[in-house]
Amino acid sequence: MSPPLRIDPIAEARRHWTARWGGRPARPMAAVTSIMRAQQVLLARLNGLLRPYGLTFPRYEALMLLSFTRTGALPLGKIGERLQVHRTSVTNIVDKLEADGLVRRVPHANDRRATLAAITDEGRETAARATAALNDAAFGIDALCSDEQEAVTALLRALRVDAGDFVDGP
Amino acid sequence: MSPPLRIDPIAEARRHWTARWGGRPARPMAAVTSIMRAQQVLLARLNGLLRPYGLTFPRYEALMLLSFTRTGALPLGKIGERLQVHRTSVTNIVDKLEADGLVRRVPHANDRRATLAAITDEGRETAARATAALNDAAFGIDALCSDEQEAVTALLRALRVDAGDFVDGP
């Protein structure tokens, strides 16, 4: 890891932006660059926390999604929809989880072309232990207090609606 | 792209989290998952906006960093520090920019082991045109108003300080 910079690189970029293009475009630039960097920091932390459980964050997310379903199983296509990742990524995620004994593939009862991923007992146990570790570490975001975390969630919700992730409603 | 879900998947995860582990760990989970998804949405938008200019967001960032320096050139190691990416990523980024004629590698005047990347005239022109496109599109985050964008930047600053990105000061 590099030593800390003496200046905030995003504040520095904002200064250049404002000088050339004015304050208006500098604001979204700073916000978006901040989100990019935050994601990079958090993903490294989450993957570090999950490594002892043999998981990465995308595999952890898939495991949790399955654990929350009534039957513990979902068609692969549905997993992709819910995690908003491509079909090939879902295949890779499920391949690795299956190789580790955390899920198994089972045929769909009503649709011969579809395959389900079903969480195993070992998968549930691993998911529970990994979740305890992530909860203890506040998902790597304990530099923000609880109210600030809630503010981030609320602010970014509009972007997720705008991206068509879900239908905004009451 | 999948049709929008009828429910907010993060609100749904929060509901499950709260039921199993209480409200306290549900808050950082929701915030971090929101940041992950926001990054995914924004990166796709930025790469889409930059495609006509033959750029990706990491290559664009490197080009802008060079354009902001006094001489238009920086050692590759310094680029990695400022963009907070690994040495190998910097090499890949500079390779591609060089192949496209947007930067050239030049030897360091005072350090024979170091190489500089220097932005070309074509690089400056491409950077300017790409920036106009990103500024016009508010970097893909116009679902948030200006004040909300500023709030995101301010909230995530604490995480970047916590990650040791820069020394917090007056």
pLDDT by residue for chain A (170 residues), tens digit each? 566 777 899 999 999 999 999 999 999 999 999 999 999 999 999 999 999 999 999 999 999 999 999 999 999 999 998 888 889 999 999 999 999 999 999 998 888 788 999 999 999 999 999 999 999 999 999 999 999 999 999 999 999 999 999 888 75
Within 8 A of A34 by CB-CB distance, chain B residues are 152-153, 156-157, 160
* C-alpha triplet B155, B160, B165: angle, nearest 5°: 155
Confidence label for B42 from pLDDT (cuts 50, 70 and 90) = very high
pLDDT over 60 (residue B1): no
Res B170: pLDDT: 60
Res B109: pLDDT: 82
Contacts across the A-B interface (CB distance below 8 Å): 219
Closest CA to B29 of A153, A157, A36: A153
Rg (CA), chain A: 20
| CB contact (8 A) between residue B2 and residue A80 | yes
| CB contact (8 A) between residue A160 and residue B34 | yes
* Number of helices and strands in chain B (H, E): 7, 3
Which of A70-74, A134-138, B26-30, B80-84 is predicted least confidently?
Answer: B80-84
- If one counts every other C-beta atom within 10 angstroms of the C-beta of residue B99, the result is 9
φ, ψ of residue B35 to 5 degrees: the values are -65, -40
ipTM: 0.94
Confidence label for B119 from pLDDT (cuts 50, 70 and 90) = very high
Res A88: pLDDT: 94
Instruction: Report the DSSP beta bridge partners of residue A166.
Output: B5
Within 8 A of B31 by CB-CB distance, chain A residues are 139, 141, 144, 149-150, 152-153
Closest CA to B27 of B13, B42, B41, B40: B13
- Walk across the sheet containing B103-107 and list its strands: B73-75, B115-119, B103-107
| CB contact (8 A) between residue B135 and residue A165 | no
Tokens of A88: 């090939």
Instruction: Report the DSSP beta bridge partners of residue A117.
Output: A74, A105
| CB contact (8 A) between residue A135 and residue B21 | yes
Which of A115-124, B36-45, B49-58, B102-111 is predicted least confidently?
Answer: B102-111
- If one counts every other C-beta atom within 10 angstroms of the C-beta of residue A11, the result is 12
Res A168: pLDDT: 81
pLDDT over 80 (residue B150): yes
Res A108: pLDDT: 86
| CB contact (8 A) between residue A8 and residue B156 | no
| CB contact (8 A) between residue B27 and residue A152 | no
Nearest CA distance, B17 vs chain A (angstrom) = 9
Within 8 A of A29 by CB-CB distance, chain B residues are 134-135, 139
pLDDT over 80 (residue B3): no
Taking all residues of chain B, what is their mean pLDDT, rounded to a whole number? 94
User: Structure pTM?
Assistant: 0.94
- Walk across the sheet containing A115-119 and list its strands: A73-75, A115-119, A103-107
**Substitution target from B85, B160, B167, B168 for chain A, most A beta carbons within 10 A:** B160
Q: What is the percent of chain B with per-residue pLDDT over 70, rounded to a whole number?
A: 98
| Residue type present at position B103 | V
Nearest CA distance, B65 vs chain A (angstrom) = 8
Tell me the average pLDDT across B17-35. 96
Minimum CA–CA partner of A44 in chain B: B163
